[in-house]
């Protein structure tokens, strides 16, 4: 494994994103995404090695039984946390089997 050292020349917070402004509260998740994007622009391998995973979507046709898997690269997961009482219930909801109706 080759370890890269990335030097980010950041003088102002707006260097990460034009959406960041001095003396305003910014979302930590948004800041992390901007930070990782900046590093990834310089050397994508290290971001993928440390944070990258693949999300697997499994699809099965209820009519014919055809089965397929779709692999998607993923750095972070956005989960809807409405009416959730624990991390376990949020992850369970995210991975729940869904039946898709024909249009």
The whole-angstrom separation of Cα 19 and Cα 27 is 11
The whole-angstrom separation of Cα 82 and Cα 70 is 27
pLDDT value, residue 45: 78
pLDDT value, residue 10: 56
**53: its two tokens:** 């995973």
pLDDT value, residue 1: 46
**Of 1-5, 31-35, 47-51, 52-56, which range is least confident?**
1-5
The whole-angstrom separation of Cα 36 and Cα 75 is 9
pLDDT tens sequence across 45-99: 777 777 778 888 888 888 888 889 988 887 777 777 777 788 888 888 878 887 7
Q: Which residue ranges make up each domain of the chain?
A: 13-94
Whether the per-residue pLDDT at 29 is higher than 80: the answer is no
Whether the per-residue pLDDT at 34 is higher than 50: the answer is yes
pLDDT value, residue 102: 64
Whether the per-residue pLDDT at 17 is higher than 50: the answer is yes
Q: How would DSSP label each residue in 21-84?
A: -TTS---HHHHHHHHHHHHHHH-HHHHHHHH-EEEEEEEE-TTT--EEEEEEEES------TT-
């Amino acid at each position: 494994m080759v370890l890269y050292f990335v030097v980010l020349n950041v003088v102002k917070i707006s260097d990460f994103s034009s959406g960041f402004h001095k003396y305003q509260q910014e979302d930590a998740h948004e800041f992390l995404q901007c930070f990782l994007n900046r590093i990834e622009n310089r050397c994508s391998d290290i971001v993928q090695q440390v944070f990258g995973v693949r999300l697997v979507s499994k699809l099965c046709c209820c009519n014919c039984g055809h089965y397929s898997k779709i692999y998607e690269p993923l750095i972070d997961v956005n989960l809807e946390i409405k009416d959730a009482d624990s991390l376990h219930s949020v992850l369970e909801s995210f991975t729940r089997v869904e039946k898709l109706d024909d249009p």
